[in-house]
Amino acid sequence: MRRASLILVPYLWLLALFAVPFVIVLKISLSDIAIAMPPYAPNWEPSDGVAAFREFLSGLDFENYVWLSEDALYWKSALSSLKIAVISTFLTLLLAFPIAYGIANASTDWRPVLLMLVILPFWTSFLIRVYSWMGILSNTGLLNQFLMWTGVINDPLQIINTDIAVYIGIVYTYLPFMILPIYAALDRLDMSILEAAQDLGCTRITAFWLVTIPLAKQGIIAGCFLVFIPALGEYVIPYLLGGSNTLMIGKVLMNEFSANRDWPVASAVAIILLLILVVPIVLFQRNEQRLREVGA
Amino acid sequence: MIQTELASWDDPETRPLIEFVNVTKRFGDFTAIDNQSLKIYKGEFFALLGPSGCGKTTMMRMLAGFEMPTEGTIRIDGLDVSTVPPNKRAVNMMFQSYALFPHLSVWDNIAFGLRREGKSGQALTARVEEMLRLTRMEKFARRKPHQISGGQRQRVALARSLAKAPKLLLLDEPLGALDKKLRQETQFELMDIQESTGTTFVIVTHDQEEAMTVASRVAVMDEGKLVQVATPDVIYEAPNSIYVADFIGDVSLISGVAKSRVPSDVAPQDSAGGQPSAQQQDTPRQPQPNAFGAWLHDTVFEPVLGARSKSDEQAVEPAQQEDTVTDTVRELPAGGIAIHWADGQDPIIATNADPCLDGKTVNFSIRPEKIGISKARPDALNAFQGKVIDIAYLGHVSTYHVVLTNGLKIMAQVSNTRRISRRSITWEDDVWISFSSTAGVALEH
């Protein structure tokens, strides 16, 4: 009984915060746009009765999904989002790994300070930090002024309103999410294992590839997911830093929802986004499970 | 130690495999190894023994190449290796934590070093299989390290470090994580493997029993210095310092002033207890059966031959009897020193000690098993009266803590050849402790 109630808590949590909103969004995505409040139809209230519910169900269809497949904008933005998310995840990894490695190998006095510095940016609003990147990257911004002052360039670089600015924004924002799990994995690593690798004939570099990387794998994978998933649906960064050419599915979704006030299509986009994310996660977990079974 | 051939460490002709020449290692202000020299020979099973922080691990890590000496030279097989990195040395190490690669199977762990050598295919498989057989791990080749027991992990670590057939194998507290029973078994396994592979082993341990069991020679270390380097029996029987005597096994220490004995010197002159009683002198010593003989008689022959005459049971154990017989006062051996350790007490006679200690304060160190204990005054050169204050019953032996008349505590150990219910000495008993004139050593420092 006690056990059952303990297990119940996370399930209730999931039900309230994931399943219920998901069903609502799914239902809206199957509805039609209506100039009303709420801006979609059909609707059903429990007071309407069972017959009305049947009528309500017959009013739902996949029209919006058909529409999404017909208009190239949607799959192009989905692809573009994927590309941006993959590349920025990779760039974040390249930057985060040395940082995590450095922190893990720092003296115990320094480690808490360095970890604090990694987390420190969260103390400021995310929006303010992205706005300040506008100030840094714009044509008259700090970066261009500095580069022109040193004489490296004569004309300002066009960074803001390009995909590059989006990459910079995503890498900057999600860097801590990559550093922390990799640090955790490296911190657990027993230094004598690296010494054993050297003792058995590895140079420092081969020991790194053959031992450190495989043992940090779990942290790297966790970090990549923590960056990739939010980056894929990112809206604020491409909206503020990217140009009109930067296509991202989050931006499209927001556009449908607020500018076009087309809640059903926006919901359909949200469902598609969710599917894009769920498929790799499920595949990844299956793979992990299989590996565990083979190992046992 | 009976050896027909000169041991390699005693033969000046033999070239050492490992040579530490005036090696000093400092970490900041801390001196881990203080200007030490040491030679280790091919085929030895050499133990570095000491408490934690004595520098034994530093010595080993310098051999492996993880630490470089601050001063001095380390030679392996005649070559100065002071600056050679670990991956370029024909030395492998078995780590205290085993340091198995958790992401690789047992098989791949053993193959790891061989693959770095560029070995592959048939040669690789053959060598790995050989190592698996040697350590009896064939059945577990496909398992990951977290799927096998501690003892099995220890064997994989050993197999992995032996796979490259190193000239020298270093073992850092290899059995520390095993329980006592398994540790003892593994000690003998290690010795077998060492013998069959002919590899030179250097083991680091803080466990003196382990060092004594496995090693051909032991180096006892303290605060960055090699205090004594010798075979286990020498370390035990003839420690060169109080530190070594105290670190290896149990010991009772009696401090006193040494006085050299001239050959004409006769037994302690006092009459009170110095001379054996007339009765004892006149009656020849009865031959006594040993434990097995007594048992044999009691269980088998008694019905046929009748009860044997039990003269008053001699509490001094057979091992001591030999000594005590030869050391009777009548045949007092000459030489050595007499140690005056307490007023009004007979001096301790140590005929094996150096007469040059004359006039110096020495510590007489004696092992508990070298001391006999009895209720009657025994016929021994060194015999002192005391009272039993504690008995530690360990099953196979009992250790009696005897406090002498001047308050000094002495340990005497007796093999429990008889059942405990027949033990004749118990708490608060007034007893005599006795030992031969060569049972202990006089140590100056």
List, for residues A112-142, the tens digit of each pLDDT value: 999 999 999 989 999 999 999 999 999 999 9
Average pLDDT over residues B418-430: 78
Is the pLDDT assigned to residue B268 strictly greater than 60? no
Bridge-based pairing of strands B45-49 and B200-205 is: parallel
Residues of B with CB under 8 A from a CB of A: 64-66, 85-87, 91-93, 95-97, 99-103, 112-113, 116-117, 144, 147, 160-161, 164
CB A201 within 8 Å of CB B161: no
Confidence at B313, pLDDT banded by 50, 70, 90: very low
The full set of domain ranges for chain A reads: 70-295
Average pLDDT over residues B60-79: 92
Please tell me the distance from the alpha carbon of residue A290 to that of residue A181, in angstroms, as a whole number.
23
Percent of chain A with pLDDT over 90: 52
- Candidates B95, B148, B202, partner chain A, best to mutate (most A CBs within 10 A): B95
**Burial zone of A140 (CB within 10 Å; 0-12 exposed, 13-18 middle, 19+ buried):** exposed
Residue A169: C-alpha distances to residues A97, A122, A166, A222 (Å) = 18, 14, 5, 20
What was the pLDDT predicted at A166? 95
What was the pLDDT predicted at B320? 41
Question: Higher model confidence: residue B3 or residue B113?
Answer: B113
Please tell me the distance from the alpha carbon of residue A272 to that of residue A71, in angstroms, as a whole number.
14
Is the pLDDT assigned to residue B275 strictly greater than 80? no
Amino acid code (one letter) for B97: S
Q: Report chain B residues whose CB lies below 8 A from the CB of A210.
A: 112
Rounded to the nearest angstrom, the minimum Cα separation between A219 and chain B is 14
CB B291 within 8 Å of CB B414: no
- Candidates B67, B68, B97, B101, partner chain A, best to mutate (most A CBs within 10 A): B101
Please give the domain boundaries of chain B with CATH numbers for all domains.
8-247 (3.40.50.300), 253-443 (2.40.50.100)
Average pLDDT over residues B59-78: 93
Is the pLDDT assigned to residue B248 strictly greater than 80? yes
Report the residue count for chain A. Answer: 296
Please tell me the distance from the alpha carbon of residue B390 to that of residue B392, in angstroms, as a whole number.
7
Is the pLDDT assigned to residue A263 strictly greater than 80? yes
Percentages helix, strand, coil for chain B, rounded to the nearest 5? 30, 25, 40
Among B100-109, B265-274, B395-404, the range with the most confident prediction by mean pLDDT is B100-109
ipTM of the complex: 0.74
Question: Higher model confidence: residue B240 or residue A290?
Answer: B240
Is the pLDDT assigned to residue B152 strictly greater than 50? yes
What was the pLDDT predicted at B445? 78
What was the pLDDT predicted at A52? 84
Confidence at B317, pLDDT banded by 50, 70, 90: very low
B206-215 residue pLDDT tens: 988 899 999 9
Of B99, B117, B147, the CB nearest to A196: B99
Q: Report residue B336 as tokens.
A: 């050595």
What was the pLDDT predicted at A294? 60
Confidence at B306, pLDDT banded by 50, 70, 90: low
Q: Report chain A residues whose CB lies below 8 A from the CB of B119.
A: none
What was the pLDDT predicted at B69? 93
Confidence at B309, pLDDT banded by 50, 70, 90: low
Residue A191: CB atoms within 10 Å? 10
Mean per-residue pLDDT of chain B: 83
Rounded to the nearest angstrom, the minimum Cα separation between B170 and chain A is 11
What was the pLDDT predicted at A3? 83
Rounded to the nearest angstrom, the minimum Cα separation between A191 and chain B is 9
Q: Which residues pair with B391 in a beta bridge?
A: B400
Is the pLDDT assigned to residue A178 strictly greater than 50? yes
Confidence at B288, pLDDT banded by 50, 70, 90: low
Confidence at B168, pLDDT banded by 50, 70, 90: very high
Question: Higher model confidence: residue A38 or residue A186?
Answer: A186
Rounded to the nearest angstrom, the minimum Cα separation between B86 and chain A is 5
B170-203 residue pLDDT tens: 999 988 878 888 888 889 988 988 998 889 999 9
Q: Report chain A residues whose CB lies below 8 A from the CB of B92.
A: 199-200
Is the pLDDT assigned to residue B300 strictly greater than 70? no
* Spatial strand order in the sheet of B372-374: B372-374, B430-435, B382-393, B397-404, B409-415
Is the pLDDT assigned to residue A199 strictly greater than 80? yes
DSSP line for B338-391 = EEE-STTSPPEEETTS-GGGTTSEEEEEE-GGG-EEESSPPS-SEEEEEEEEEE
**Cα-Cα-Cα-Cα dihedral of A203, A204, A207, A211, to 10°?**
170
DSSP line for A105-117 = HS-TTTHHHHHHH
Mean per-residue pLDDT of chain A: 89
A54-112 residue pLDDT tens: 888 888 888 899 988 888 888 899 899 999 999 999 999 999 999 999 999 999 999 99
What was the pLDDT predicted at B403? 92
Q: Report residue A289 as tokens.
A: 């499970």
Confidence at B330, pLDDT banded by 50, 70, 90: very low
Lookup result for tokens 């002495």: B410
Taking CA–CA distances from A200, the nearest residue in chain B reads B113
Percent of chain B with pLDDT over 70: 82
Report the residue count for chain B. Answer: 445
What was the pLDDT predicted at B415? 87
B250-262 residue pLDDT tens: 899 998 888 888 6
**Per-residue b or e along B300-320, where b marks 16 or more CB atoms closer than 10 Å to that residue's CB:** eeeeeeeeeeeeeebbbbeeb
CB B336 within 8 Å of CB B261: yes
Question: Higher model confidence: residue A123 or residue A52?
Answer: A123
Is the pLDDT assigned to residue B328 strictly greater than 60? no
B357-380 residue pLDDT tens: 888 889 999 999 999 898 888 888
* Alpha-helical segments (H) within A30-162: 50-58, 63-70, 72-105, 111-119, 126-137, 142-150
Is the pLDDT assigned to residue B278 strictly greater than 60? no
Please tell me the distance from the alpha carbon of residue A276 to that of residue A68, in angstroms, as a whole number.
14
What was the pLDDT predicted at B305? 62
What was the pLDDT predicted at B293? 67
DSSP-assigned letter for residue B10: T
Please tell me the distance from the alpha carbon of residue A104 to that of residue A227, in angstroms, as a whole number.
21
Confidence at B420, pLDDT banded by 50, 70, 90: low
What was the pLDDT predicted at B1? 45
Range with the lowest mean pLDDT among B10-14, B191-195, B263-267? B263-267
State which H helix or E strand residue B32 sits in: strand B30-40
Average pLDDT over residues B300-325: 51
What is the value of pTM for the model shown?
A: 0.75
Average pLDDT over residues B74-78: 91
Confidence at B327, pLDDT banded by 50, 70, 90: very low
CB contact under 8 A, A195 and B113: no
Of A200, A211, A214, the CB nearest to B92: A200
Three-state DSSP class for residue A57:
helix
CATH no., domain A70-295: 1.10.3720.10
Please tell me the distance from the alpha carbon of residue B305 to that of residue B391, in angstroms, as a whole number.
37
What was the pLDDT predicted at A281? 81
